[in-house]
Amino acid sequence: MEDFYRELIIERYKDPHFRGVLDPNDISYEDDNPSCGDHIQIDVRLDEKGIVTEALFSGEGCAISQASADLLLESIIGKSVDDIKEISKEDILENLGIELGPVRLKCALLPLKVLKAGIYGINKTEESD
Amino acid sequence: MAAKITTGYDVNEVRQDFPILTREIRPGVLLTYLDSAATSQKPNAVIEAMSAYYQDTNANIHRGIHQLAEEATFAYENARERIAAFVNAPSSEELIFTRNTTESINLVAFTWGRTFLKAGDLILLTEMEHHSNLVPWQMLANELDLELEFIPVTPDGLLDLDIYKKQLKKEPKLLGITHMSNVLGTINPLEEILQDAKSAGAVTLVDGAQAVPHFHVDLSKLEADFYAFSAHKMCGPTGIGALFGRKELLEKMPPFLGGGEMIKRVELRSFKTNDIPHKFEAGTPAIAEAVGFGAAVDYLSDLGMDQIERHERSLTGYAIEKLSQISDLHILGPDIEEKGGVVAFYIKDIHAHDVAQILDSRGIAVRAGHHCAQPLHTKFNLPATSRASLYLYNTREEVDRLVDGIHRVKEIFA
């Protein structure tokens, strides 16, 4: 079970590559995980074609949620908003390289939830999951 | 029994009463259960009492004339009497069965609060309350336009009683206060606090969820107007709790939920309420759970609340001593003199969830998060803490396992 704490996760938790705030931005959204107090904000900049040029996250949380956010943002640079909509729970777990129980799964998926809510927020015709 | 008292408290003997404590969490990994402030484990005496009730006695209570209904009614009402005696309530009709502490507090807010409070009235709470003693009052304040104030918590985790005395001059209508904090472990000096509230004309409600399981609570001496607690934190089942209320108040309060049992007579357009405590117990209650609750207070009485308190105090002292030797680890709350067996802590730069996760890999169950006391964590500027909570079955060896586990956490994050 200690395998949760793969080197990659500890490394990204201690030294994230995509931590910070973008102001101005094209997409900004924040949310909490009420069961544990994790809080994540994600800011994204898009070019005129809707391609992600920059993305940063801020907030507080456990190693799993923070590393998950960092790896997620790394994976979306150069992607379109439509590509981001296709990102699944499985993709996140594959990024992290671990399997999680229901409680910690929420930590791992919070960044994706925030990112998607932000994206669907600018395309209000479509429903968020 | 006499032998037990003279030979002291044998925790290993006590552990044999709890079947779950012998469970391996994963092959070869023993359970170290340090989460009793969330819910306690259950002794055989409670599990067997509930099972026996279903096997031999099960029927709906009151009104039935047949033998089983008589026996079930006796079992339910007799449990009420034993629980009332356990907290030395002046009478058992002042003890209402609810689902839990949360429902007990909501009952008071919905019935007493809605009837006797009006716009502009002040409710005084504390900054160390569990959400269950905050949110019902926030809801009521929104509905009736009430004011809320909070007795501040000092950096040491104590209530600031000088400020409290000033707040009383504003004549609050209600003081809602926890007996023991589920995060800081602080045991509030209630006798003095309630006396002052009473002199200022406030009705008092105490959240006793963390107190009644751990030391003797004497409701005849304390003089709280309302006192709420839950069975499941004191060796009893989930799904049942109690609200003690002073008779004069309960009789003036309207009923809580409507339905069977809470009425004396019903016509198509009107009803007459039943006497207390039944007035507040609409519908078929948790009968087997009441039986289990009764068995739990018998079990605690047999062990002796003084013995339990002494054991936990010694163990908490040991835990604080060992944990404080770990660098970068900080314990919340006051010193052992004013603290029960709740040790919430944080480790610099390591999130509480990660601590709990790594401890879990060693079979050690602690809680991580804000423990339903988010405003308190906000006050101390902590998103989350880890909490080890101790009970009558915990040992020094288990505390040692916790300490070893925390050292491993620090290695992983080093």
CATH code where residue A62 lies? 3.90.1010.10
Residue B17 has pLDDT above 90, yes or no: yes
pLDDT band with cut points at 50, 70 and 90 for residue B19: very high
User: Do the Cβ atoms of B124 and B230 come closer than 8 Å?
Assistant: no
Cα separation, A12 vs B222, whole angstroms: 53
Cα separation, A58 vs A20, whole angstroms: 5
Q: Are residues B328 and B398 in the same domain?
A: yes
User: Do the Cβ atoms of B295 and B112 come closer than 8 Å?
Assistant: no
Size of interface A-B (CB pairs under 8 A): 56
Minimal Cβ distance to B353: which of A1, A14, A107:
A107
User: Is the pTM here over 0.95, yes or no?
Assistant: no
- Express each pLDDT in B303-331 by its tens digit: 999 999 999 999 999 999 999 999 999 99
Q: Are residues B125 and B192 in the same domain?
A: yes
Q: Are residues B77 and B195 in the same domain?
A: yes
As a three-state string, the secondary structure of A110-121 is HHHHHHHHHHHH
CA dihedral A42, A45, A51, A56 (to 10 degrees): -40
Q: Are residues B236 and B376 in the same domain?
A: no
Ordered alpha helix ranges (H), B219-276? 219-222, 247-252
Q: Are residues B179 and B258 in the same domain?
A: yes
Q: Are residues B116 and B221 in the same domain?
A: yes
Query: Rounded mean pLDDT of B211-226?
Result: 97
Cα separation, A77 vs A54, whole angstroms: 6
Identify the burial level of B40 via C-beta atoms within 10 angstroms of its C-beta, where 0-12 means exposed, 13-18 middle and 19 or more buried: buried
Whether B37 is in a domain gets the answer no
Query: Rounded mean pLDDT of B203-222?
Result: 98
Query: Rounded mean pLDDT of A69-82?
Result: 95
Q: Are residues B15 and B55 in the same domain?
A: no
Cα separation, B20 vs B71, whole angstroms: 30
**What pLDDT shows up at residue A60?**
87
Whether B270 is in a domain gets the answer yes
Q: Which of B174, B209, B356, B372 is catalytic?
A: B372
Cα separation, B138 vs B135, whole angstroms: 5
**What pLDDT shows up at residue A126?**
40
CB contacts, 8 Å: B351 with chain A: 60-63, 66
Cα separation, B242 vs B222, whole angstroms: 17
Interface touch B352/A62, C-beta < 8 Å: yes
**B90 Cβ neighbours under 8 A, 6+ residues apart:** B219, B220, B247
Q: Are residues B23 and B78 in the same domain?
A: no
Whether A100 is in a domain gets the answer yes
**Could you tell me the CA-to-CA distances from A67 to A1, A6, A76 in Å, in that order?**
17, 11, 15
Interface touch B369/A39, C-beta < 8 Å: no
Query: Shortest Cα distance from A2 to chain B (angstroms)?
Result: 6
The residue among B267, B301, B335 that closes a domain is B301
Q: Are residues B310 and B214 in the same domain?
A: no
**What pLDDT shows up at residue B342?**
97
The total of structural domains in chain B comes to: 2
CB contacts, 8 Å: B413 with chain A: 5, 10, 14, 63
CATH code where residue B92 lies? 3.40.640.10
Q: Are residues B371 and B287 in the same domain?
A: no
Chain B, residues 375-404, CB within 8 A of chain A, namely 377, 383-384
Please indicate if any CB of chain A lies within 8 Å of the CB of B38. no
Instruction: Name the token pair of A24.
Output: 């101005």
User: Do the Cβ atoms of B199 and B69 come closer than 8 Å?
Assistant: no
Whether A129 is in a domain gets the answer no
Residue B182 has pLDDT above 90, yes or no: yes
The full DSSP string for B264-332 is EEEETTEEEEPPTTGGG--SS--HHHHHHHHHHHHHHHHH-HHHHHHHHHHHHHHHHHHHHTSTTEEE-
Cα separation, A44 vs A64, whole angstroms: 21
Domain range for residue B321?
2-30+304-413
**What pLDDT shows up at residue B289?**
98
Which helix (H) or strand (E) is B96 found in, with range? strand B95-98
Whether B41 is in a domain gets the answer no
Query: Rounded mean pLDDT of A27-32?
Result: 92
Residue A124 has pLDDT above 90, yes or no: no
Whether A15 is in a domain gets the answer yes
Query: In which region does residue A59 sit, left (phi positive, over 0), alpha (psi from -120 to 50) or beta (all else)?
Result: left
pLDDT band with cut points at 50, 70 and 90 for residue A125: very low
Q: Could you tell me whether strands B367-369 and B364-365 are parallel, antiparallel, or unpaired per DSSP bridges?
A: unpaired
Identify whether B235 is a catalytic site residue: no
Domain range for residue A58?
2-120
Neighbours of A65 (CB within 10 A): 28
Interface touch A39/B383, C-beta < 8 Å: yes
CB contacts, 8 Å: B360 with chain A: 1
Chain B, residues 164-193, CB within 8 A of chain A, namely none
- Express each pLDDT in B27-74 by its tens digit: 999 999 999 999 999 999 999 999 999 999 999 998 778 999 999 999
Instruction: Name the token pair of B366.
Output: 């602690």
Cα separation, A92 vs B406, whole angstroms: 28
Whether B40 is in a domain gets the answer no
**What pLDDT shows up at residue B187?**
98
Query: Rounded mean pLDDT of B260-266?
Result: 90
Residue A127 has pLDDT above 50, yes or no: no
Whether B42 is in a domain gets the answer no
pLDDT band with cut points at 50, 70 and 90 for residue B2: very low
Minimal Cβ distance to A5: which of B26, B368, B412:
B412
Q: What angle do CA B215, B221, B225 make, to 5 degrees?
A: 100
Whether B38 is in a domain gets the answer no
Cα separation, B380 vs B128, whole angstroms: 11
**What pLDDT shows up at residue A4?**
66
**A75 Cβ neighbours under 8 A, 6+ residues apart:** A87, A91, A95
Cα separation, B72 vs B135, whole angstroms: 36
The total of structural domains in chain A comes to: 1
The residue among B266, B301, B336 that closes a domain is B301
Please indicate if any CB of chain A lies within 8 Å of the CB of B361. yes
Whether A39 is in a domain gets the answer yes
Whether B293 is in a domain gets the answer yes
Cα separation, A78 vs B82, whole angstroms: 69
pLDDT band with cut points at 50, 70 and 90 for residue A36: low
Query: Shortest Cα distance from B322 to chain A (angstroms)?
Result: 24
User: Do the Cβ atoms of B138 and B278 come closer than 8 Å?
Assistant: no
Identify the burial level of B142 via C-beta atoms within 10 angstroms of its C-beta, where 0-12 means exposed, 13-18 middle and 19 or more buried: exposed
**A25-38 in b/e burial notation, b at 16+ Cβ within 10 A?**
bbbbbebbbeebbb
Q: Are residues B284 and B314 in the same domain?
A: no
Q: Are residues B111 and B236 in the same domain?
A: yes
Residues paired with B387 in a beta bridge: B344, B367
pLDDT band with cut points at 50, 70 and 90 for residue B250: very high
**What pLDDT shows up at residue A3?**
67
Residues paired with B207 in a beta bridge: B178, B228
